[in-house]
């Protein structure tokens, strides 16, 4: 169990205590008003807040493989501007990144390296399979290419296209943000850091 | 010098070692040489100041297993040479047998032959003699087989398009075609 | 303690092995090099490639000629039209096609030169970024987006156009597209000046590039370097001039060369090449001939779509070409062309069927890597990144 989890648990316990203590005081308020306070402020879990913060600060690893890497670079540039979604800080070291965009075909020789880079990333971490090749092998169904990077690492979002345009990749990033927010505070999010 | 003049000179010097030579309809000079005289010919082409074949464009192998099973030699190696000073161009063919295909290295003549010769070993299994660093180039160390041989399978896999992750992982586990196990 | 000879000798024995790549932001893909270091100095560099091996040559043996064209896009993914062109020229040579319609050749030339500019822009941006100049990266990509938009307009795809086909091009250029190209041609020269104003006289850039990674003309020829690297070393070798294809002899352009063969000279050559490419595009637009955009031989290129409903013959040709593909006579051929990185060519062996028997790509990056590692010997560790950037390798065509 990570430090963050302990903190989340501690705060949740604290909130529950608060809720019990404040119950009487809240019930004295007007009926419609008390409900709003009870639902929105006190029951908001810290996990949600953490998830919200995580989704807006995705740091992708600089992990260019093939053609798709060029479109990934285009996404970071001024025209597409991934900074609008907080995903523009490409980190050269996987140890500083929490998002791996597998941009291109993964060969049999690269697969162990990719797995290792994934293992080096700190938790929680997410993976986007960018393009047809990393999603399912694409047009290269042969001895050299791993037929989908999901055989090596767990994938959160698949972006189709050969190569997908930067707008498609941005849509993938937005979908991932939605997923992070949806999972936030839940058991799945907890497993990610376990 | 014209291609025809070069061809005649080479024919006169190497005589029987030149199995075949011609100037094609596109005006390209093609020479087929026996493997035992191959290095002599290459050194001559490089060092003769009149030809000045100082630039190696590429080296490639061809496996004639499917195209012509009765061919005397199964393999062929192709060398493409240019001259940086003159407008010369020659293509040299060497036939190699199926058993122990061996060819001398031309690395000491053209250093650009470093990678293509290693690729010959990696992709076709040809033994390149006297190469300074002979080992696999593209495929990982310990890979079995040489992918560009015609009897090496392309290894097409069935792809599972499914939303059910359990189904997919089960399907992958029964796949025996996957050479390297990335899960390991 | 002063540096004694004995001390130096002892230090020589004490080298450090340093791994670089395959996941490294400055190796332009998945290139790995093992460096033997003596302090800051590189003693030897051993390249390790194959991390992007896609088996394209093997796959091509199992596909029809038309199916090979999209795969050639994915070899050198920075300038795909040039790979298409090299492949199509070789197949056309095997088919015995003497001459294409002028419009087809001109459209091919426009696409290839746009591809060259686009490729050089990526090189300029990433090379400058590696050395530490971030602004150039953003500027270069701004113009590249315009080229990608033009690609999308004519072929439907931003990068992998597959626009050049055997016997011509995929479809005719629209007036809107030609307008777009003209706008780009008018807009671009000022931008090249802008890049130059950022780098050419920049003292940091000069210090990092001048006199580093030098290669003499003889060395460059010995190591089979090609393209801008060869020209920066003082050899005027460009296949567009030496053996013109696609009517390059009808255009008036210069081949830039430099003498020192260092990183700075390669930079100058490539920047000037962008200007010359723009010049070629301008001339092609001005003199773009009318007429068919592909061969009218229906055994090689598809008949026009609207004739399918009226002509039985067209329908049969269409059916044969789509279902069976073009049959290429027995033989082998190689056509050298000038790509963005140097000599690109396909050596194709045909057995007379509709699939190639053997396809081999002569890739300039692949041939250039041993020479590049030679340049690294004796250089500082920080210069390794600059040297890799100056050769402009694309791993797609190295590993194939």
Strand stretches in chain B, DSSP E:
18-23, 29-33, 55-63, 75-82, 89-96, 102-104, 127-129
DSSP codes of every residue in A94-144: GGG-SEEEEES--BTTTHHHHHHHHHHSPSS-EEEEEHHHHHH-TT--STT
Tell me how crowded residue C179 is: count the other CB atoms within 10 A of its CB: 11
Is the confidence at residue A70, as pLDDT, over 60? yes
Task: Supply the pLDDT for residue C277.
Answer: 92
Task: Supply the pLDDT for residue C119.
Answer: 92
Any CB–CB contact under 8 A between A115 and chain B? yes
Of C59, C93, C400, the CB nearest to B26: C93
Q: What is the mean pLDDT of residues C203-209?
A: 89
Taking the C-alpha atoms of residue A191 and residue B100, their distance in angstroms, rounded to an integer, is: 56
Q: What is the mean pLDDT of residues C232-237?
A: 90
Taking the C-alpha atoms of residue C224 and residue B58, their distance in angstroms, rounded to an integer, is: 9
Pair C278, C188: CB distance under 8 Å: yes
Residues from chain A that touch C140, judged by Cβ atoms under 8 A, are none
pLDDT digits (tens, 9 = 90+) for C39-90: 888 888 888 888 889 889 888 888 888 888 998 988 888 889 999 999 999 9
Is the confidence at residue C4, as pLDDT, over 90? no
pLDDT digits (tens, 9 = 90+) for A3-19: 667 777 777 777 777 77
Judge: B55–C93 Cβ closer than 8 Å, yes or no.
no
Judge: C351–B54 Cβ closer than 8 Å, yes or no.
no
Percent of chain B with pLDDT over 70: 85
Q: What is the mean pLDDT of residues A128-149?
A: 87
- pLDDT category, B65, cuts 50, 70, 90? confident
- Name residues whose C-beta falls within 8 Å of residue C229's C-beta, 6 or more positions apart in sequence: C215, C220, C261, C266, C342, C368, C371, C390, C391
Tell me how crowded residue C400 is: count the other CB atoms within 10 A of its CB: 27
Any CB–CB contact under 8 A between A145 and chain C? yes
Task: Supply the pLDDT for residue C1.
Answer: 39
**d(CA B84, nearest CA chain A) in Å:** 33
Is the confidence at residue B175, as pLDDT, over 80? no
Judge: C74–A78 Cβ closer than 8 Å, yes or no.
no
Task: Supply the pLDDT for residue B28.
Answer: 87
Tell me the residues of C at the A interface, defined by beta carbons under 8 Å apart: 22-25, 29-30, 50-56, 58-59, 70-71, 74, 77-78, 122, 126, 137-138, 141-142, 144-145, 148, 158-160, 395-396, 399
Tell me the residues of C at the B interface, defined by beta carbons under 8 Å apart: 49-50, 53, 55, 57-59, 61-62, 93, 221-225, 235, 237, 242, 332-334, 336, 343, 345, 347, 349, 351, 357-358, 360, 362, 366-367, 369-371, 374, 399-400
pLDDT digits (tens, 9 = 90+) for C161-196: 889 988 888 888 899 999 999 999 999 999 999 999
Pair B21, B10: CB distance under 8 Å: yes
Q: Beta strand A157-159 with A126-130: parallel, antiparallel or unpaired?
A: parallel
Which residues are paired to C358 by β-bridges?
C349
Q: Which residue of C has its CA nearest to B58?
A: C362
Pair C372, C342: CB distance under 8 Å: no
Residues from chain A that touch C71, judged by Cβ atoms under 8 A, are 139
pLDDT digits (tens, 9 = 90+) for C77-135: 888 999 999 999 999 999 988 888 999 999 999 999 999 999 999 999 999 988 888 88
Is the confidence at residue A150, as pLDDT, over 80? yes
The structure tokens 């047009």 sit at: A139
Task: Supply the pLDDT for residue B77.
Answer: 93
Any CB–CB contact under 8 A between A150 and chain B? yes
- Name residues whose C-beta falls within 8 Å of residue A103's C-beta, 6 or more positions apart in sequence: A63, A64, A65, A66, A68, A69, A71, A72, A130, A131, A134, A163
Judge: A108–B155 Cβ closer than 8 Å, yes or no.
no
Mean pLDDT estimate for chain C: 88
pLDDT digits (tens, 9 = 90+) for B30-54: 999 988 888 988 998 888 888 888 8
Looking at per-residue confidence, does B121 or B157 come out higher?
Answer: B121
Q: Which two tokens stand for residue A38?
A: 């009870």
Largest Cα–Cα distance in chain A?
72
**d(CA B140, nearest CA chain C) in Å:** 8
- pLDDT category, C282, cuts 50, 70, 90? very high
Task: Supply the pLDDT for residue B182.
Answer: 45
Any CB–CB contact under 8 A between A62 and chain C? yes
- Name residues whose C-beta falls within 8 Å of residue B176's C-beta, 6 or more positions apart in sequence: none
Judge: C345–B57 Cβ closer than 8 Å, yes or no.
yes
Mean pLDDT estimate for chain B: 82
Pair C280, C253: CB distance under 8 Å: yes
- pLDDT category, C211, cuts 50, 70, 90? confident
Residue C238 CA, distance from chain mean position:
13
Q: Which residue of B has its CA nearest to C58?
A: B148
Q: What is the mean pLDDT of residues C237-250?
A: 89
Pair C69, C165: CB distance under 8 Å: yes
The reported pTM is: 0.87
pLDDT digits (tens, 9 = 90+) for C348-395: 999 888 889 999 999 999 998 999 988 888 889 888 889 998 888 888
Is the confidence at residue A33, as pLDDT, over 70? no
Task: Supply the pLDDT for residue A63.
Answer: 82
Of A108, A137, A141, the CB nearest to B180: A108
Mean pLDDT estimate for chain A: 82
Task: Supply the pLDDT for residue C347.
Answer: 93
Q: What is the mean pLDDT of residues B11-36?
A: 86
Kindly report the CA angle at C48 between A134 and B183, in degrees rounded to 5? 40
């Amino acid at each position: 169990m990570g430090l963050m989890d302990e903190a989340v648990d501690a705060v949740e316990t604290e909130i529950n205590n608060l809720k019990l203590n404040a119950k009487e005081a809240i019930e004295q308020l007007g009926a419609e008003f008390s409900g709003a306070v009870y639902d929105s402020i006190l029951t908001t879990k810290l996990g949600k807040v953490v998830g919200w913060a995580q989704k807006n600060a995705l740091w992708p690893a600089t992990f260019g493989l093939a053609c798709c890497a060029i479109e990934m670079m285009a996404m970071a540039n001024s025209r597409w501007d991934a900074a609008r979604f907080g995903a523009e800080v490409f980190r050269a070291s996987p140890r500083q990144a929490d998002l791996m965009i597998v941009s291109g075909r993964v060969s049999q020789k690269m697969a162990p390296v990719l797995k290792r880079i994934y293992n080096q990333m700190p938790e929680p971490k997410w993976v986007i399979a960018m393009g047809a090749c990393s999603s399912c092998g694409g047009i290269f169904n042969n001895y050299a290419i791993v037929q989908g990077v999901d055989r090596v690492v767990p994938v959160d979002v698949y972006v189709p296209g050969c190569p997908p345009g930067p707008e498609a990749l941005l849509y993938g990033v937005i979908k991932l943000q939605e997923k992070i927010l949806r999972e936030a505070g839940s058991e799945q999010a907890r497993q990610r850091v376990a | 010098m014209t291609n025809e003049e070069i061809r005649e000179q080479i024919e006169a010097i190497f005589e029987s070692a030149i199995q075949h030579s011609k100037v094609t309809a596109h005006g390209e000079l093609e020479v087929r040489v026996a493997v035992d005289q191959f290095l002599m010919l290459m050194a001559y082409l490089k060092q003769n100041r009149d030809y000045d074949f100082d630039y190696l464009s590429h080296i490639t192998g061809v496996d004639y297993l499917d195209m012509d099973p009765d061919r005397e030699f199964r393999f062929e190696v192709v060398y493409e040479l240019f001259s940086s000073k003159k407008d010369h161009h020659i293509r040299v063919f060497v036939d190699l047998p199926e058993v122990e295909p061996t060819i001398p290295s031309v690395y000491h003549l053209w250093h650009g032959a470093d990678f293509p010769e290693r690729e010959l070993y990696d992709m076709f299994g040809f033994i390149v003699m006297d190469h300074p660093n002979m080992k696999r180039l593209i495929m990982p160390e310990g890979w079995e087989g040489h992918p560009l041989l015609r009897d090496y399978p392309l290894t097409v896999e069935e792809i599972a398009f499914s939303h059910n992750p359990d189904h997919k992982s089960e399907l992958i586990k029964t796949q025996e075609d996957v050479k390297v196990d990335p899960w390991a | 303690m002063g540096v004694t000879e004995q001390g130096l000798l002892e230090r020589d024995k004490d080298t450090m092995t340093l791994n670089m790549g395959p996941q490294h932001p400055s190796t332009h893909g998945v290139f790995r090099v093992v460096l033997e270091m003596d302090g800051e100095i590189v003693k030897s560099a051993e390249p390790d490639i194959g991390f992007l091996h896609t088996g394209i040559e093997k796959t091509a043996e199992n596909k029809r000629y038309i199916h090979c064209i999209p795969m050639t896009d994915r070899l050198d993914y920075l300038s795909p039209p040039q790979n298409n062109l090299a492949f199509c020229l070789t197949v056309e040579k095997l088919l015995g096609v003497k001459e294409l319609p002028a419009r087809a050749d001109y459209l091919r030339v426009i696409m290839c030169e746009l591809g060259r500019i686009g490729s050089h822009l990526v090189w300029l941006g990433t090379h400058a970024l590696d050395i530490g100049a971030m602004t150039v990266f953003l500027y270069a990509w701004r113009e590249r987006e315009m080229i990608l938009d033009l690609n999308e307009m004519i072929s439907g795809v931003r990068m992998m156009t597959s626009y050049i086909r055997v016997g011509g091009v995929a479809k005719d250029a629209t007036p809107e597209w030609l307008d777009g190209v003209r706008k780009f041609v008018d807009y671009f020269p000022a931008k090249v000046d802008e890049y130059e104003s950022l780098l050419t006289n920049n003292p940091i850039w000069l210090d990092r590039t001048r006199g580093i990674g030098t290669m003499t003309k003889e060395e460059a020829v010995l190591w089979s370097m090609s393209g801008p690297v060869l020209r920066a070393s003082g050899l005027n070798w460009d296949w567009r001039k030496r053996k013109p294809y696609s009517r390059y002899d009808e255009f008036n352009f210069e081949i830039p060369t430099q003498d020192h063969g260092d990183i700075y000279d390669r930079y100058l050559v490539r920047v000037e090449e962008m200007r010359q490419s723009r010049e070629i595009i301008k001339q092609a637009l001005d003199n773009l001939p009318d007429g068919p955009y592909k061969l009218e031989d229906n055994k090689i290129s598809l008949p026009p779509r609207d004739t399918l409903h009226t002509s039985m013959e067209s329908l049969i040709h269409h059916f044969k070409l789509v279902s069976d593909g073009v049959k290429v006579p027995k033989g082998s051929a190689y056509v050298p062309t000038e790509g963005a990185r140097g000599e690109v060519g396909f050596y194709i062996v045909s057995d007379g069927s509709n699939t190639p028997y053997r396809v081999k790509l002569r890739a300039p990056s692949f041939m250039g890597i041993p020479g590049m590692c030679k340049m690294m010997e004796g250089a500082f560790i920080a210069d390794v990144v600059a040297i890799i950037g100056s050769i402009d390798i694309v791993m797609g065509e190295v590993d194939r």
